[in-house]
């Protein structure tokens, strides 16, 4: 398949996986991407031949740089003990012990190749863990630990992996004490050199950016693009220019960029915001591409293993499961042993030793994008032209081990996490401890969706107070937008059983409105105030809305093409008006009259209806209020269309929208001051308000 078509196909699969993930939120997107890759490989016979020389540069360099640049500094420092222990010592233990055990399991695989396989399976994938953690609600410190260790163990694991692969390629490696010393010496040298190169290169780039900004060259796009190409430049300089570790260099560069940008964020907040969003897009695409490629490579790897190496598929699957189990057991024993050693050294009777925490830590060690990127970079041949030993089997085992780590985590983490209390870290030595005290008093906080609903309702009340004769259309437009957003949040925040009474009340109210509109339409026709064409057209529109309401009652979260049908019908309605014997203006006036009178009648009828149901649920009051706002908005739009004097609605909308956003900020402050929301929820709400404010300003300034 041509490269352009292949890239487009992969990106489409990544986007498709995200859509499916929204429909099936319990399944991590990474699993969906792997499944789509397998499906494409089996149905379209797609294969990907990746060059080792640029694969690490294309995928690993930007991903590691972004992780280092975005990682919170405070958490990195607070968890430095567990992070560096897991990221360096555990990686070396996993590489050595795991490689030896894999060699015992598969004697046909050379020891160096087995060590390379164990090394590349050492790094954890924070993206996959985060996807699982959203549905499982893993403790926050566990998430920070996995993210922090993955930042460094990606680099340490890849360095060990590259040395093991190089030893296999040279075909001259013999394991002795002196050779082990030489390997560790070389690893230490390339690591230190990589840190130096990364820091120097990033310092030069930072100085160049600061100089350009000082000289007035402050184009946002230019500086964002400069930052986006930084990891590629740093990686290339480290690997090709100084023969240092490129992965270590980009991590060091990312951390320095993090420290530098945190000092400069006040100088250019727009640059920081756009850079973060740009990196989110790049990271999203690259991670998605890696998992899709994993799915595409999986059938090919197992097929090659079966046909050329006398390993049937079941044997490969069994090998992969045992390899995953080896890595899992090593990680569990590492965490559990660390707890025992700490308790023995400190002689602290309060120090808790929990095997559950060790198991939880082992399950969160999910493998993913970096493992796949590394294993696919294994060269096809060694020196002399002979095939790389067991390359296909290595790819197959690594790919299946990733699948096992993801699937087992999805199945078991909910049960393990539910039985574990709050996981914390000791302030003195950063060791992992657990709080199983279920008697601790907790303050129930409002969740983010309910808090957003509260602030939106405050904004609606403020807008009602700002409503005047000359701005009613704009006010109702914004209120309607907020009402739809509130309803969307309610559907997301509550179960079907909880939301069912709300939907039932709203449908009942809307049915009353439809009946009133229909009666008004018949009265207008009987009084000959509208033409039969207008009557039948508006009647059909009411009937269509009723049908849509019925389908909404049956399933309110279904993709529908009704908007396309409505657009086509509106086009033909306008075409009929245009072709109606030159009476275009008269017919349009009749349409406006019909809609105006129906809206007035509906408002009056609904007001009487709610007075008769004054003691019933508040849902019905809210539904009537929402519907009356829609009818008032319809009336004001008709008035605005018939006005001769021009009103600057863009400026009016912007001013009122800013008033509403300021009210939302006040609502967030109120909730935080009364301790009804957490600080993190408040920050998320303020960030959402800031985004909305930027959108309003950009829309106003672009016109």
- Domain housing 168: 3-435
Yes or no: say if 67 and 150 are a contact pair by the CB < 8 Å rule: yes
For 3-12, what is each residue's pLDDT tens digit?
788 889 999 9
Residue 647 has what pLDDT?
Answer: 54
Residue 175 has what pLDDT?
Answer: 62
What is the CATH number for 291?
1.20.1530.20
Beta bridge partners of 423: 434
Regarding whether 479 and 414 lie in a shared domain, the answer is no
Yes or no: say if 54 and 240 are a contact pair by the CB < 8 Å rule: no
Beta bridge partners of 422: 435
Comparison of pLDDT for 53 and 59, the residue scoring more: 59
- Mean pLDDT check: name the lowest of 116-125, 474-483, 614-623: 614-623
Q: Coil, strand or helix: which one is 648?
A: coil
**What is the full DSSP assignment across 115-139?**
HHHHHHTSS--HHHHHHHHHHHT--
Regarding whether 452 and 498 lie in a shared domain, the answer is no
The residue-averaged pLDDT of 502-525 equals: 85
What single-letter DSSP state applies at residue 375?
A: H
The pLDDT of residue 273 is above 80: no
List the end-to-end C-alpha distance of the chain, in Å, as a whole number.
44
Mark 288-311 as b/e (b = at least 16 C-beta within 10 Å).
bbbbbbbbbbbbbbbebbbeebeb
Domain presence at residue 442: no
Highest mean pLDDT among 24-33, 106-115, 310-319, 361-370: 106-115
Q: How far apart, in whole angstroms, are the C-alpha atoms of residue 385 and residue 481?
A: 66
Regarding whether 627 and 672 lie in a shared domain, the answer is no
Yes or no: say if 38 and 298 are a contact pair by the CB < 8 Å rule: yes
Q: Quick one: which H or E segment has residue 434?
A: strand 432-435
What single-letter DSSP state applies at residue 71?
A: S
Residue 133: pLDDT band with limits 50, 70, 90: low
Comparison of pLDDT for 48 and 684, the residue scoring more: 684
Question: How many CB atoms neighbour CB 51 within 10 A?
Answer: 9
The residue-averaged pLDDT of 449-467 equals: 89
Regarding whether 274 and 137 lie in a shared domain, the answer is yes
Residue 268 has what pLDDT?
Answer: 63
Q: Global pTM?
A: 0.68
Residue 541: pLDDT band with limits 50, 70, 90: confident
Which of 628, 646, 664 is at the close of a domain? Answer: 646
Highest mean pLDDT among 320-324, 467-471, 557-561, 645-649: 320-324
Domain presence at residue 441: no
For 550-602, what is each residue's pLDDT tens digit?
665 554 444 444 545 555 555 555 555 555 554 567 777 888 888 889 989 98
Regarding whether 664 and 641 lie in a shared domain, the answer is no
Domain presence at residue 325: yes
Give the torsion through C-alpha atoms of 72, 75, 80, 81, to 10 deg: -150
Regarding whether 660 and 639 lie in a shared domain, the answer is no
Domain presence at residue 553: yes
* Residue indicated by tokens 């607070």: 78
Q: How far apart, in whole angstroms, are the C-alpha atoms of residue 589 and residue 531?
A: 11
**What is the full DSSP assignment across 257-270?**
HHHHHHHHTTT-HH
Domain presence at residue 286: yes
Number of domains, the chain: 3
Residue 560 has what pLDDT?
Answer: 43
Burial class (CB in 10 A: 0-12, 13-18, 19+), 452: buried
Domain presence at residue 497: yes
Regarding whether 639 and 529 lie in a shared domain, the answer is yes
For 416-440, what is each residue's pLDDT tens digit?
766 555 455 444 444 444 444 444 4
Regarding whether 637 and 667 lie in a shared domain, the answer is no
For 214-257, what is each residue's pLDDT tens digit?
887 878 889 889 999 999 999 999 988 888 888 889 988 998 98
Q: Taking the CA of residue 458 as centre, how many other CA atoms within 13 Å lie in the half-sphere pointing to its CB?
A: 18
Residue 455 has what pLDDT?
Answer: 93
Regarding whether 491 and 406 lie in a shared domain, the answer is no
Residue 566 has what pLDDT?
Answer: 53
Q: How far apart, in whole angstroms, are the C-alpha atoms of residue 689 and residue 497?
A: 30
Regarding whether 695 and 603 lie in a shared domain, the answer is no
Regarding whether 642 and 653 lie in a shared domain, the answer is no
Domain presence at residue 440: no
Measured at the CA of 567, the angle between CA 563 and CA 568, to 5 degrees, comes to 120
Listed residue (154, 286, 290, 278) closest to 228, CA to CA = 278
Regarding whether 429 and 453 lie in a shared domain, the answer is no
Domain presence at residue 94: yes
The residue-averaged pLDDT of 346-374 equals: 76
What does the block give as tokens for 535? Answer: 């009557």
The pLDDT of residue 189 is above 80: yes
Q: CA 198 → CA 256, 479, 495, distances in Å? A: 9, 52, 50
């Amino acid at each position: 398949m041509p490269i352009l078509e292949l890239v487009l196909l992969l990106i489409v699969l990544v986007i498709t996986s995200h859509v499916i993930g929204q429909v099936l939120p319990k399944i991590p997107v990474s699993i969906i991407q792997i499944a789509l890759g397998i499906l494409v490989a089996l149905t379209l016979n797609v294969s990907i031949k990746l060059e080792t020389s640029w694969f690490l540069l294309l995928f690993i360099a930007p991903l590691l740089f972004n992780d280092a640049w975005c990682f919170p500094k405070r958490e990195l420092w607070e968890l430095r003990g567990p992070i560096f222990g897991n990221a360096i010592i555990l990686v070396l233990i996993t590489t050595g012990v795991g490689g030896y055990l894999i060699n015992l399991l598969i004697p046909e695989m050379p020891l160096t190749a087995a060590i390379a396989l164990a090394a590349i399976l050492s790094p954890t994938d924070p993206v996959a863990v985060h996807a699982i953690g959203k549905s499982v609600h893993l403790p926050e410190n566990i998430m920070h630990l996995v993210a922090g260790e993955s930042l460094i163990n990606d680099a340490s694991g890849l360095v060990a992996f590259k040395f093991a692969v190089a030893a296999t390629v040279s075909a001259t490696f013999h394991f002795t004490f002196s050779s082990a010393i030489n390997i560790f010496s070389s690893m230490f040298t390339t690591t230190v050199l990589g840190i130096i190169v990364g820091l120097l290169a990033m310092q030069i780039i930072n100085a160049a950016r600061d100089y350009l900004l000082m000289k007035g060259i402050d184009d946002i796009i230019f500086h964002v693009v400069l930052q986006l190409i930084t990891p590629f430049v740093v990686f290339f300089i480290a690997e090709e220019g100084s023969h240092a570790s490129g992965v270590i260099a980009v991590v060091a560069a990312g951390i320095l960029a993090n420290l530098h940008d945190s000092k400069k964020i006040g100088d250019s907040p727009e640059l920081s915001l756009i850079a973060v969003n740009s990196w989110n897009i790049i990271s999203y695409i690259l991670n998605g591409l890696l998992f899709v490629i994993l799915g595409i490579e999986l059938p090919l790897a197992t097929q090659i293993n079966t046909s050329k190496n006398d390993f049937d598929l079941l044997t490969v699957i069994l090998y992969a499961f045992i390899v995953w189990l080896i890595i899992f057991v090593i990680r569990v024993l590492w965490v559990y042993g660390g707890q025992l050693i700490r308790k023995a050294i400190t002689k602290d009777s309060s120090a808790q030793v929990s095997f559950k925490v060790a198991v939880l830590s082992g399950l969160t060690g999910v493998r993913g994008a970096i493992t796949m990127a590394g294993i696919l970079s294994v060269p096809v041949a060694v020196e002399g032209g002979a095939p790389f030993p067991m390359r296909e089997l290595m790819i197959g085992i690594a790919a299946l081990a990733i699948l096992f780590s993801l699937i087992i985590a999805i199945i078991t983490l909910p049960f393990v996490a539910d039985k574990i209390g709050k996981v914390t870290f000791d302030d003195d030595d950063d060791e992992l401890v657990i709080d199983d005290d279920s008697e601790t008093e907790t303050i129930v906080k409002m969740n983010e969706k309910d808090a957003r609903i509260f602030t939106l309702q405050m904004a609606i009340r403020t807008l009602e107070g700002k409503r005047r004769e000359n701005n009613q259309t704009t006010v109702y437009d914004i209120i309607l937008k907020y009402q739809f957003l509130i309803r969307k949040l309610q559907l997301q925040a509550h179960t079907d059983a909880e939301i069912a009474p709300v939907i039932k009340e709203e449908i009942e109210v809307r049915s009353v409105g439809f009946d009133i509109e229909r009666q008004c339409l018949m009265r207008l026709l009987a009084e000959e105030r509208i033409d039969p064409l207008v009557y039948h057209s508006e009647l059909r529109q009411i009937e269509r809305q009723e049908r849509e309401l019925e389908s909404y009652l049956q399933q309110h979260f279904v993709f529908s093409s009704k908007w396309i049908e409505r657009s086509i019908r509106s086009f033909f309605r306008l075409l009929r008006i245009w072709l109606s014997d030159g009476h275009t203006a008269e017919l349009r006036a009749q349409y406006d009259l019909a809609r105006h009178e129906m809206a007035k009648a509906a408002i009056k009828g609904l007001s009487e209806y709610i007075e008769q149901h004054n003691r019933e649920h508040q849902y019905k009051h809210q539904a009537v209020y929402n519907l009356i706002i829609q009818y008032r908005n319809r009336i004001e739009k008709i008035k605005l269309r018939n006005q001769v004097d021009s009103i600057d609605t863009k400026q009016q909308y912007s001013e009122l929208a800013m008033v509403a956003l300021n009210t939302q900020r006040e609502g967030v402050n109120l909730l935080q001051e009364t301790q009804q929301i957490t600080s993190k929820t408040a920050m998320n709400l303020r960030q959402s308000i800031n985004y909305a404010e930027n959108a309003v300003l950009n829309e106003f300034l672009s016109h």
